[in-house]
Amino acid sequence: MTPQNFIALDLELNQPSNKVIQVGVAIGNAQQKSEEYVVKKWYLNPNEPIDKFITELTGITNGNISSYSVSHTTVARELTELIKEYNPWLQPVVWGYDDAGQLRREFEKHSVEFKHFGGRWLDVKTIHNFMMFSKNESPRGSLKEAMSRYNSVFEGQEHRADIDAQNTLKFWFDLMRKQNDFMTDKSYNNNNKGLANG
């Protein structure tokens, strides 16, 4: 059976406007190493100066925007091409924020057609929160901090849309593997034979 591809999405936003200034995606499957994912980023021009704090946080400067930004049409077209080529699961993997809805609204605001990322998404942070609450522990913390709790190593610099997307996808697969290990554990199966047999 061909492994299922997934696409992780992350956005970087300017402040205080919350306008999108960087879009990052990572596409891959559970059989791949993170360096084998298809990773892509785009800069978008918010038509306003980049806030100093955002530059310090993300590394995105006004110079980056003036030199590398592309149109919303370009992002939608190239992202659509990636989705068609790699056929990921239709709902994007995200870390806690409505990045999918935010991106769709951004496209709609600029009258750009984009027929992907509907009203649902796969939120890794919600899964992490559930697992922390089940142990009566606080789920607070960044993606990097959450990954460290599961011995999953964050790779690269935080708050870069492409890097965050790549690590979100990596964490998604790490959690899937841990769940699979749990479900195939003999003690779990022995304790749940009645449920399995209906």
- Please tell me the predicted confidence (pLDDT) of residue 54: 98
Check: CB of residue 143 under 8 Å from CB of residue 164. Answer: yes
pLDDT in tens, 29-75: 999 999 999 999 999 999 999 999 999 999 999 999 999 999 999 99
The answer to whether residue 189 scores a pLDDT higher than 60 is no
- Please tell me the predicted confidence (pLDDT) of residue 186: 54
- Please tell me the predicted confidence (pLDDT) of residue 197: 42
Check: CB of residue 150 under 8 Å from CB of residue 178. Answer: yes
CATH homologous superfamily for 6-183?
Ribonuclease H-like superfamily/Ribonuclease H (3.30.420.10)
Whether the model clears a pTM of 0.75, i.e. scores above it, the answer is yes
pLDDT in tens, 152-167: 999 999 999 999 999 9
Look up residue 31 and give its two tokens: 């059989």
Q: Where are the domains of the chain?
A: 6-183
- Using DSSP's 3-state secondary structure scheme, residue 28 falls into strand
Check: CB of residue 13 under 8 Å from CB of residue 151. Answer: no
Rg of the Cα atoms in the chain? 18
pLDDT in tens, 79-136: 999 999 999 999 999 998 789 999 999 999 999 999 999 778 999 999 999 999 999 9
Look up residue 86 and give its two tokens: 């790699």
Contact residues for 133 (Cβ-Cβ < 8 A; gap 6+): 139
